[in-house]
Chains A and B, each alone.
Chain A
Amino acid sequence: AQSVAQPEDQVNVAEGNPLTVKCTYSVSGNPYLFWYVQYPNRGLQFLLKYITGDNLVKGSYGFEAEFNKSQTSFHLKKPSALVSDSALYFCAVRDIQYNNNDMRFGAGTRLTVKP
């Protein structure tokens, strides 16, 4: 079974500073990894994914994430945070051994970017 941990409930950064939202995962096989963002009373918006290939993946709105197999991590990063990045971020994992199974989500991390 797959699982995801987001160790931080809340991350606060100042506008213009780099941000990191942490995620670690556990799967029995090889993972597909995802980051989604949720704004209030909305569904989840896809940001980026790791399937295979380069460990550093780039996604929407200037976000990127680095897949680290030895540390089983997939931290989300952005070089310069914007106030509009403030939202709830979810990391998700899918075990590719099971073709039609669902993703499992972390508990979410609320990012607040202050002006």
Chain B
Amino acid sequence: GAVVSQHPSWVICKSGTSVKIECRSLDFQATTMFWYRQFPKQSLMLMATSNEGSKATYEQGVEKDKFLINHASLTLSTLTVTSAHPEDSSFYICSARDRVWNTEAFFGQGTRLTVV
């Protein structure tokens, strides 16, 4: 149980285009999902907290108009990187917390974004 599926696992896009990353909890309901960015050989940097049915809460320094988050259901959150630039290239990871148990979070497999 407690599987989080993130799609795509890797994507290459051109500068100026937008990319959508999906995060799904497959066997549990998640009222809260989290989006992280990880730079090479570094820890996870929390970008935003996504709550089902409400606006995401962004961490300081994260542009909400650039990183659009939608959490339309209890099993799906999406991150859209708009007008991508090469500096947006990174490893993006989502996590979800079970609505009932609400203790540990379970992570997707990550998305490697490369902007050329």
Residues of A within 8 A of B (CB): 32, 34, 36, 41-46, 49, 51, 90, 99-108
Interface-central residue, A43, A44, A107, by most chain B CB under 10 Å: A43
Asked if A108 and B43 sit within 8 Å, CB to CB, the answer is: yes
B101-116 at interface with A (beta carbon < 8 Å): 102-110, 112
Asked if A34 and B91 sit within 8 Å, CB to CB, the answer is: no
Q: Of the listed stretches B44-52, B60-68, B69-77, B78-86, name the one at the interface; the rest are far from the partner chain.
A: B44-52
Contacts of B103 in A (CB 8 A): 32, 49, 51
Contacts of B34 in A (CB 8 A): 102
Cross-chain contact of A43 among B43, B51, B104, B108 (Cβ < 8 A): B108
Asked if B102 and A102 sit within 8 Å, CB to CB, the answer is: no
Asked if A100 and B93 sit within 8 Å, CB to CB, the answer is: no
Task: Flag whether B25 is at the interface (Cβ < 8 A).
Answer: no
Contacts of B32 in A (CB 8 A): 100
Cα separation A48 to B49 with both chains bound (whole Å): 23
Asked if B104 and A100 sit within 8 Å, CB to CB, the answer is: no
Asked if B102 and A43 sit within 8 Å, CB to CB, the answer is: no
Minimal Cβ-Cβ distance residue in A for B34: A102
Contacts of A36 in B (CB 8 A): 107
User: From residue B107, how far is it (CB to closest CB) to chain A in Å?
Assistant: 4
Cα separation A95 to B75 with both chains bound (whole Å): 24
User: From residue B30, how far is it (CB to closest CB) to chain A in Å?
Assistant: 11
Minimal Cβ-Cβ distance residue in B for A51: B103
Cα separation A51 to B95 with both chains bound (whole Å): 19
Cross-chain contact of A102 among B49, B108, B112 (Cβ < 8 A): B49
Minimal Cβ-Cβ distance residue in B for A103: B105
Interface-central residue, A34, A49, A99, A102, by most chain B CB under 10 Å: A102
Cα separation A106 to B107 with both chains bound (whole Å): 16
Contacts of A103 in B (CB 8 A): 105
